[in-house]
Amino acid sequence: MIKQKIIFKDLGLMDYKSAWDYQEKLLQENVQKKSLGYNHESGVIGNRLPAPDSIITTQHYLLFTEHPPVYTLGKSGKKENVLLDDDELKEKDIQFFNTNRGGDITFHGPGQVVGYPILDLEKFCTDIGKYLRNLEEVIILTMAEYGLKGERSPGETGVWIEPGLPGRERKICAIGVRCSRWITMHGFAFNVNTDLAYFNHIIPCGIMNKQVTSLEKELEKKISMEEVKEKLKMNFEEVFNAELIG
């Protein structure tokens, strides 16, 4: 199977709305390319073969970023899972957005690697469930490099530690995506050196009585963000049989 090429960009610290708008731009560009009727397998546009230099095809991206403190609510989420009112959010300098991704409420902030894959799943596998499991696998493989066992919790998207031990289960990575014509956006939020106190003001992912954790908390030391990003990139290439470029 041919490795897909994915353009990688580290956006650094970027406010949530700007990153969302950028993702939406890349998604819509890909959707527009699909509307031209290009068949990736046959190379046919409509009923004619294109000239070699005129082939229009979708482009994959993987974006990494960190956000200033922000709570984001998925389209199936409930605002009451935010335990602060608008005045309290403003006082604590935390932004809030209703989003078009799946999932419920989560937090993004400094010390967290947020990954936004903009992929054409028709070039991978047209199965959203498998795509979510693959994102989880990228995180699980990365955690294993730090001696931590990341696991899935049945019926709950994301990556957990000790999900089967009541009172001990703790989430280390939230995942929520949107897909339009098999083009993805949004993605994962992996807690590395995240200030976990922010999670005290929400019911994370709408799940009661479960903890949130980070690499720093589990390993009891600060972790290099750049090191984590490099491990995530390598594991993303492995899981998705892809090559990151750029």
Dist CA 5 CA 204 (whole Å):
34
Dist CA 194 CA 14 (whole Å):
16
Taken in order 103, 107, 112, 116, the sign of the CA dihedral is positive
By residue count, the chain amounts to 246
Structure tokens at 39: 């068949």
Amino acid letter, residue 202: I
The catalytic residue among 125, 173, 179, 205 is 205
β-pairing, 156-161 with 151-153?
Answer: antiparallel
Nearest to 122 by CA among 173, 61, 60, 178: 60
Nearest to 201 by CA among 100, 113, 114, 80: 80
Please enumerate in sequence order all residues whose Cβ is within 8 A of that of 194, keeping only pairs 6 or more positions apart, or say none: 107, 109, 110, 111, 112, 214, 216
Please enumerate in sequence order all residues whose Cβ is within 8 A of that of 59, keeping only pairs 6 or more positions apart, or say none: 7, 26, 29, 30
Q: Is 125 a catalytic residue?
A: no
CA distances from 186 to 3, 27, 67, 214 (A): 22, 10, 13, 20
Nearest to 172 by CA among 185, 189, 153, 197: 189
Q: Which residues are catalytic?
A: 205
